[in-house]
Amino acid sequence: MSKTEPEPETAAPRLPGPPIPSHADLFLAFFKITLSGFGGTLPWTRRMFVEEKRWLTAEEFNDVYALCQFLPGPNIVNLTAVFGSRMRGATGAMAAWAGFLIVPFCVMLAAAMLYERYGDVEAVRRVLSGIAPAAAGLIVATVAKMAAPMFRSFGPAPIVLLVTAFAIGLMRWPLLLVLIVIAPVSIALAWARLSQVRR
């Protein structure tokens, strides 16, 4: 009887990562976000990138958004440029910008003309007053989702920073001074935590 040769060990196949979006994908993704993003586009952007398309992990999204917080200009517009350039370079940033800004630009022009004419109507004021709590609720829900990975990674330290950040609104502290203090502290805590994990 002939000896049967042992079968060579085969490595487990690697799971393919999410595909890099094309320029058309970037344009259509941000175009869809602007059509859905009533009350602010941050919740819809995170849902699409992290939960639906899986272009970024929750931690990566937090990192990119944290960078955009410190750049001049609107945070979500900065995120559009950073993500687009990360995926497809400068042309990717332009495609993302176009998809993100073309609808709001046209809508806000029309809204400004309508508000100038009908802004004093009582019904319009009531509608705007009713929209505000819904927009605030979307932001609070997104903050909770973004905070969850940080609490898992860094323990109770983010709670201290979160309370300090809320103090900006409650105690009227200057935003620039608070950021100057919080940024080095948060970086030091993250550095210390990563050092412990590597050990």
Give the largest Cα separation in the chain, rounded. 97
Show the DSSP H helices in the chain as ranges: 23-36, 42-46, 58-69, 75-118, 122-154, 157-171, 175-198
Total domains, the chain:
2
| pLDDT computed for residue 159 by the predictor | 66
Kindly indicate the confidence band of residue 10, based on its pLDDT and cuts at 50, 70 and 90: very low
- State the Cα–Cα distance between residues 88 and 26, nearest whole angstrom: 9
My answer on whether 142 and 162 are in the same domain is: no
Q: What percent of the chain has pLDDT over 70?
A: 74
| pLDDT computed for residue 24 by the predictor | 93
My answer on whether 69 and 95 are in the same domain is: yes
38, pLDDT greater than 50? yes
Is the separation of the CB atoms in 48 and 79 below 8 Å? no
Half-sphere exposure of 195 (CA within 13 A, CB side): 6
Residue 3 lies in a domain: no
15, pLDDT greater than 60? no
Residue 114 lies in a domain: yes
My answer on whether 27 and 103 are in the same domain is: yes
My answer on whether 140 and 162 are in the same domain is: no
Identify which of 68-77, 142-151, 164-173 has the greatest average pLDDT. Answer: 68-77
- Rg of the Cα atoms in the chain: 23
My answer on whether 75 and 167 are in the same domain is: no
| pLDDT computed for residue 13 by the predictor | 45
Residue 30 lies in a domain: yes
My answer on whether 67 and 132 are in the same domain is: yes
My answer on whether 138 and 189 are in the same domain is: no
- State the Cα–Cα distance between residues 168 and 34, nearest whole angstrom: 29
My answer on whether 138 and 199 are in the same domain is: no
Residue 13 lies in a domain: no
The whole-number average pLDDT for the span 134-159 is 68
The whole-number average pLDDT for the span 54-73 is 85
Half-sphere exposure of 127 (CA within 13 A, CB side): 8
Residue 7 lies in a domain: no
My answer on whether 126 and 199 are in the same domain is: no
Residue bearing the bigger pLDDT, 163 or 56: 56
Which residue range(s) make up the domain with 183? 155-199
What pTM, to 2 d.p., does this model score?
A: 0.57
